[in-house]
Amino acid sequence: MGQPIKLIIKKGAVRKDGTSLIFLQYCHSAEQRTLLSTDVQIPPNYWNKKTGRIAENLPPKYGNANELQVDLTAKLRKAEDMVEYAVKKRHTCPMQFLKENFLLKTNWKLEQMSDAEKSLDVYSNIEDYIKSKQTTVKRCTINVINAMKAHLKSFEHYRKEPITFDSFDVRFYEDFVRYLTYDIPQLRRTEVINGLKVNSVGKTIKHLKSFLKDRMSKKIIPFMDLSAYKVMEEEVDAVYLTWQELSLIYHLDLSDNSNLEKYRDLFVLGCLTGFRFSDYSDIKPEEVRGGMLYVNQAKTLSTVVVPLRSDAKIILIDKYNMQMPQVSNSNFNYYIKEVVRLAGIDELIKITHKRGNKIIEETRPKYNWIMSHTCRRSFCTNEFLDGTPANLIMAISGHKTEKAFRRYIKADQVQKAHMIKKLWDSRPGL
């Protein structure tokens, strides 16, 4: 983009409470620049100037780092869109347009469009599509659709050409996939990386196709051939934790790191129930009855009944009185790695994944591969290795076919051989 907009903290501008405001800085030219307040304020030592991000270890009294960053990113995208719109519409001073409209609570872009323009605008239609989905899909799906929209905007900026409904041909698909795979910038905690993994690219294409098909079905746009829009996916190479490793985590002394205790407890609870993070992090008192968990799963909207293990009961009922600590998924994924590291689970693990046609290999200590989804995968794999029938595990995991379930679990050939031996040893001989 020709008009740089970035998030900054003004050097030396520290308030009495030790915080500094984060601003959006827009440089219209070398001589003309403006600052717009984001209303977010943090101690400046928790700001990464290079990446334009808030440090994840921001003390809670200043707010949730992840939520604040989401807010900042949304405001940055809004400012970029406004400047781009002003330039496209040949406003005499894009900077003045930004200053006048940025703080308005209304949808500035829609207000300035005629009805005819709205009907043909891709992003207005995506907003309409999202509204139509609000009552029929979960929040996580809405987030993925919003991510698809953000990726389209990013691609539009990258190729310096507006995206219209006429854009979505085979060439667009190929260029968009290539951009998502190799070029789209992704901010991480300490660095900027380029490109998405295969399944993330596939998810973006899937929701783009669904959006376009919805617009066609509503006669908003004419029919277009989307047969070339392939939804790519790959089998995910991932780790699980054995019962022995989980025991190390469960009994880990965190008296010198008490802030990590809630993340450890949530993690163990997830490994003992097999639920998704959205479910095991938000168990309600009324869902615990007669030694059972009755959980309405957020993703599938189905109710799953799971016996409450004694160790899970100690955590959920005895320690937290059925009110588990509320943490964000991103914070959880960050801090649980430290918990597992402290437990001494540091075996080097090599994971492979695809980036376009290339096979990427990464070798890290095991604790570096641990995330919220490890709980669910560990539960399924451990239960399978202990001889629990696959259909019973699938009733909790939600896998529709045994084939999909067996791809999901992580048990190597030696472990499976030991499992078979265990079953054979329990049977009478000849």
pLDDT tens-digit profile of 387-396?
A: 888 888 888 8
Q: What pTM does this model have?
A: 0.61
Tokens linked to 254: 């965190």
State whether residue 147 is helix, strand or coil: helix
Longest dimension (CA), the chain: 93
Query: Considering the chain, what is the average pLDDT of its residues?
Result: 83
User: What are phi and psi for residue 11, nearest 5 degrees?
Assistant: -60, 125
From CA 168, how far away is CA 242, in angstroms rounded? 47
% of the chain exceeding 70 in pLDDT: 87
Do the beta carbons of residue 45 and residue 116 sit within 8 Å?
no
* 303-313 per-position pLDDT tens digit: 788 888 999 99
Do the beta carbons of residue 241 and residue 411 sit within 8 Å?
no
Max mean pLDDT range (57-66, 71-80, 142-151, 297-306): 142-151
Greater pLDDT, 116 or 174:
174
CATH 1.10.150.130 location in the chain: 113-233
Fold of 113-233: DNA polymerase; domain 1 (1.10.150)
Q: Reply yes or no on whether the pLDDT at 6 is more than 80.
A: yes
pLDDT score recorded for residue 278 = 81
Fold of 243-425: hpI Integrase; Chain A (1.10.443)
CATH 1.10.443.10 location in the chain: 243-425
